[in-house]
């Protein structure tokens, strides 16, 4: 019996994307074409003479996978020869399709990652599983098999581009970019865990779209809500408790998941009033909120209505999410708002109200519990009145004094952007980046020196304490 011969063929079907297939030939009656599951972006990524994938981020893993596939068929061929039996097409396909050669199942691993997220609520996990479902439907169509799955060895830049085209025809641009960002994070973890050689998203630029649906209450709308006739709420089928919880979120910037989980253990009372110290559910960031000073103590007034009710473990009574949504929709209608009220609106409202009263974006970052300053900046909605007020205070003289420059919001933003860029280039952690930003904003006249020093540092393994000491030395120079 003749030994089987093997040849890898790229783009046999002459269509895009380019599928890599394995041809196994052993005599006239045994010729099998097997899909490797690998798709290449161009013919430049294939060296036909050496039968190797080249110039591809996953080339090493792909070539190893193909070698393993051929080795299994060779082993099968040897066994058949020893037993004196013919190598059959079905036996070849069975050996070639071993899942172990393609690595782990992407959906199995990603679902495990989602389940292991301790800081995510069940609703957040459900949204991430919904994102995975979109990718799974793409795989079914991509492979033309409703039972198909995806293995790490099959994922390439071409796969990501095909997913992007699939989502572009079915989803909004914002949703598509969210799914890409979510998938990129999971692949990044998979690389660390050794499931895939490199992240296929490293060569794919995600286009992020600003969400036009971000809404915040204006000062007038917030005042209208504060002064709503509480005696009429029952007639409108609106629970007063939900009104209080929503207002509390407007004053504190807390997410819904954080508001409903506040317990007495999160509250500390000093001579001036209550201080809320809590680790946020979504991000795990610690926030410290002096309730007596926020919005002239309005969140503390709401808190004192509920803190003495010891029938519940949490400060605010537990409300089903559907009940909350229905009540907030009715409340928005009662206020004649042009948009639907949600707890994300309350969070934006807090950021917007703070932005109208303070010039330092880091205060907003600390209240909202963000890890990066640019995240906080996306929450700021400057009203036309605020803009007019700030324009009136601008010195329109040809030259500005150093003191006037230090008061300029534009100058703060410029320094923040420049410093953030240099910290990113040096791969500084978020903690060190925020520390540097805080020093720069508080010492604007020294900010060029801070930026210059960070640009020259060679090591990036500073502790927070050592980094802070070096910044103090720079500022004092």
- pLDDT by residue (tens digit) across 127-151? 899 999 999 999 998 888 777 788 8
State how far the Cα of 147 lies from the Cα of 140, in Å rounded to an integer: 7
406, pLDDT greater than 70 = no
Question: What 3-state DSSP class applies to 239?
Answer: coil
Question: What is the structure's pLDDT at 412?
Answer: 67
Structure tokens given for 434: 């925020």
Q: Which of 442, 424, 443 is nearest to 433 (CA)?
A: 424
Tell me which of 447 and 160 has the higher pLDDT.
160
Structure tokens given for 185: 């994070």
**DSSP one-letter string for 128-183:** HHHHHHHHHHHHHHHHT-TT---BGGG--HHHHHHHHHHHHTTS-HHHHHHHHHHH
* Start-end of CATH 1.10.150 domains in the chain: 106-203
With a threshold of 0.75, does the pTM exceed it?
no
393, pLDDT greater than 70 = no
Q: What is the mean pLDDT of residues 298-326?
A: 88
Superfamily holding 219-384: Intergrase catalytic core (1.10.443.10)
Question: What is the structure's pLDDT at 144?
Answer: 81
112, pLDDT greater than 80 = yes
Residue 61 pLDDT level (bands cut at 50, 70, 90): confident
Sign of CA dihedral 142, 144, 148, 151: negative
* Start-end of CATH 1.10.443.10 domains in the chain: 219-384
Question: What is the structure's pLDDT at 411?
Answer: 62
Question: What 3-state DSSP class applies to 368?
Answer: helix
Q: Which of 199-213, 302-316, 375-389 has the weakest average pLDDT?
A: 375-389
300, pLDDT greater than 80 = yes
- Pick among 3.30.360, 1.10.3470, 1.10.150, 2.40.480: CATH of 106-203: 1.10.150
Residue 72 pLDDT level (bands cut at 50, 70, 90): confident
Question: What 3-state DSSP class applies to 408?
Answer: coil
Question: What is the structure's pLDDT at 28?
Answer: 58
How confident is the model over 448-477, as pLDDT tens digits?
A: 888 888 888 876 667 777 787 788 778 776
Q: Which of 228, 280, 227, 226 is nearest to 253 (CA)?
A: 280
| Cβ pair 125, 117 in contact under 8 A | yes
Task: Please report where in the chains the tokens 């199995």 appear, as a residue.
Answer: 108
Q: What is the mean pLDDT of residues 3-16?
A: 79
């Amino acid at each position: 019996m003749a030994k089987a011969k093997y040849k890898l063929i790229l783009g046999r079907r002459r269509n895009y994307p380019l599928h890599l297939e394995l041809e196994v030939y052993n005599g006239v009656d045994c010729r099998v074409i097997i899909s490797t599951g690998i798709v290449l972006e161009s013919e430049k990524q294939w060296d036909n003479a050496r039968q190797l994938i080249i110039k591809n981020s996953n080339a090493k893993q792909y070539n190893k996978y193909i070698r393993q596939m051929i080795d299994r068929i060779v082993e099968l061929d040897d066994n058949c020869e020893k037993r004196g039996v013919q190598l059959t097409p079905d036996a070849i396909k069975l050996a070639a399709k071993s899942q172990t050669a393609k690595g782990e199942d992407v959906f199995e691993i990603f679902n495990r990652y989602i389940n292991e997220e301790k800081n995510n609520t069940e609703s957040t996990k459900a949204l991430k599983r919904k994102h995975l479902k979109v990718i799974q439907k793409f795989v079914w169509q991509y492979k033309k098999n409703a039972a198909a799955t995806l293995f790490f060895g099959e994922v390439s830049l071409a796969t990501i581009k095909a997913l992007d085209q699939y989502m572009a025809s079915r989803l909004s641009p914002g949703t598509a970019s969210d799914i890409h960002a979510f998938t990129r994070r999971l692949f990044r973890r998979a690389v660390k865990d050794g499931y895939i050689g490199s992240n296929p998203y490293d060569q794919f630029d995600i286009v992020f779209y600003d969400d036009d649906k971000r809404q915040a209450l204006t000062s007038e709308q917030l005042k209208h809500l504060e002064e709503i006739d509480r005696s009429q709420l029952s007639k409108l089928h609106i629970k007063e408790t939900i009104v209080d919880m929503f207002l509390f979120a407007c004053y504190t910037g807390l997410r819904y998941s954080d508001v409903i989980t506040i317990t007495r253990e999160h509250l500390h009372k000093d001579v001036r009033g209550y201080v809320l110290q809590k680790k946020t559910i979504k991000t795990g960031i610690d926030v410290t909120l002096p309730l007596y000073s926020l919005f002239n103590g309005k969140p503390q007034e709401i808190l004192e209505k509920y803190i003495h009710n010891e029938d519940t473990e949490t400060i605010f009574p537990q409300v089903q999410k559907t009940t909350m949504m229905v009540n907030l929709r009715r409340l928005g209608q009662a206020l004649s708002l042009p948009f639907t009220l949600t707890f994300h609106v309350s969070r934006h409202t807090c950021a917007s109200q703070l932005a109208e009263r303070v010039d330092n974006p880091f205060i907003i970052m600390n209240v909202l519990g963000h890890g990066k300053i640019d995240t906080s900046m996306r929450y700021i909605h400057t009203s036309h009145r605020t803009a007019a007020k700030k324009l009136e205070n601008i010195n329109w003289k040809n030259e500005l004094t150093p003191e006037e420059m230090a008061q300029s919001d534009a100058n703060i933003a410029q320094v923040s952007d420049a410093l953030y860029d240099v910290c990113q280039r040096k791969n500084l952690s978020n903690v060190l980046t925020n520390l540097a930003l805080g020093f720069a904003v508080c010492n604007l006249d020294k900010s060029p020196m801070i930026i210059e020093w960070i640009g020259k540092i060679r090591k990036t393994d500073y502790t927070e304490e050592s980094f802070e000491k070096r910044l103090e030395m720079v500022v004092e120079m």
